[in-house]
A = this chain, B = another copy of it.
Amino acid sequence: MDTGRELHDFARALYPICRSITGNGIRETLGLIGERIPLRILEVPSGTQVFDWTVPKEWNIRDAHVKDSTGKRVIDFQKHNLHVVNYSIPVHAKVSLEELTAHIFTLPEHPDWIPYKTSYYKETWGFCASHNQLSSMCDGEYEVCIDSSLEPGYLSYGECFLPGEHEEEILVSAHACHPSLANDNLSGLAVATFLAAQLARRKNRYSYRFLFIPGTIGAITWLAQNKDAAKKIRHGLVLTCIGDRGSFHYKKSRRENSDIDRAAAHVLKQQNPAGFLLPFSPYGYDERQYCSPGFDLPVGCLMRSVWGKFPEYHTSADNLDFISADALSESLSVCASIFDLLEKNRSFKNLTPFCEPQLGKRGLYPSTGGSSPELEVNARLWLLNLSDGTNSLLDICERSGLPFAVLSEAADVLAHNGLLELIS
């Protein structure tokens, strides 16, 4: 079966669930992810102190609506879970249109779309509606009802750990707290889940840790409870907005020149020359936490269209049509290539460093002199020339301009012929 289709189907299965940073929506989501990969689900009690933050009360919602005087549901949570401001406290009241309007968010510039709003840390209630909906509401009394609960409970997150040959880890982090929004971030959940499934099927040099967490508070909670484990992270990627048809954008880690940054740059150059590299900034998704100065982890963020820069962002238009099977599949492939590069990024030592070794007698060089070397021969020469103990394959790749895959294969051939020795 086609991988892109499978990815899209998985996003489709997750789409209707009303997720938030806590509650049954995220639990149900983790349950579906756990059907595909080995997933440990952790529950952290409300009130737990995590650095400067406190795990909030758990939020759940059953129903919500605004009824007009005829009893008609003019705004209905059952029709779209974006209709309620996420984390709204329960309310049941009769209000005038004027009072109600102060609690309704719309997008006048996109009158058919419903915005996505949250209020995690300030207790309030509200509705989101299309501007057309609001415009069609007449003066009069309305019944508002939000059947939600905000009570001590738990923050839930999922962790998939795949042990590798080394203790050193590659982190993949995707936020799982958004309700019916496809690109942000069902795309990230789907790609991360499929990546984990792929990696679980093979032996890896690195260990991998996949986190499916509520944004911000989830990353902070994980870091607070795993301060030592975080030290093992050698490379990391935050995945978000990775399913739309836009060009790739890779936002660099705080260090700006870590291996993950260079690996992502190389893979984009090779596979998606239209892709962009963005400098680090402290605003964004959970790379904000991983790259906080106390941790300063080499964690970048891979996107297609950049969050906040496309009109559908945080609206009901970020739906299943906005993401495509092809884009999801390509994103999965780019991630896999980045990790493949990191897996294969090794350093070798030239065992015959004085002059070139005679490649010809080993069948590694054309016997008739010509004018331009094959890619493979060129890769062999670059590897021999730069493998002086200070350069990794990625270093050689950057200096030579040759594709990493060609260099990696050539290094294996040279090592097999006793010309290079693996040093790390």
Question: Does B283 contact A358, Cβ atoms closer than 8 Å?
Answer: no
Q: How far is the CA of A386 from the CA of B227 in the complex (A)?
A: 20
Closest CB in chain B relative to A402 CB, distance in Å: 10
Question: Does B293 contact A52, Cβ atoms closer than 8 Å?
Answer: no
Q: How far is the CA of A219 from the CA of B296 in the complex (A)?
A: 48
A 286-313 contacts with B by CB, 8 A: 288-289, 291-296, 307-308, 313
A378: nearest residue on chain B (CB-CB)?
Answer: B283
With contact pairs A292-B385, A386-B293 given, residues A117 and B368 touching in the complex (Cβ less than 8 Å): yes
Closest CB in chain B relative to A181 CB, distance in Å: 12
A 120-160 contacts with B by CB, 8 A: 121-122
Question: Does A53 contact B355, Cβ atoms closer than 8 Å?
Answer: yes
Is A332 in the interface zone, CB < 8 Å from B?
no
Question: Does A360 contact B121, Cβ atoms closer than 8 Å?
Answer: yes
Is A285 in the interface zone, CB < 8 Å from B?
no
Name the residue among A220, A281, A296 with the largest chain B CB count within 10 angstroms.
A281
Question: Does B355 contact A118, Cβ atoms closer than 8 Å?
Answer: no
Residues of chain A having any CB pair with chain B under 8 Å: 50-53, 117-119, 121-122, 216, 219-220, 223-224, 227, 254, 281-283, 288-289, 291-296, 307-308, 313-314, 350, 352-358, 360-361, 367-369, 371-373, 377-378, 381-382, 384-388, 400
20 contacts between A and B (CB under 8 A): A50-B355, A51-B355, A52-B356, A118-B369, A220-B356, A223-B354, A223-B355, A224-B354, A281-B382, A282-B381, A283-B378, A283-B381, A288-B385, A289-B356, A292-B355, A293-B385, A295-B354, A295-B355, A296-B388, A314-B369
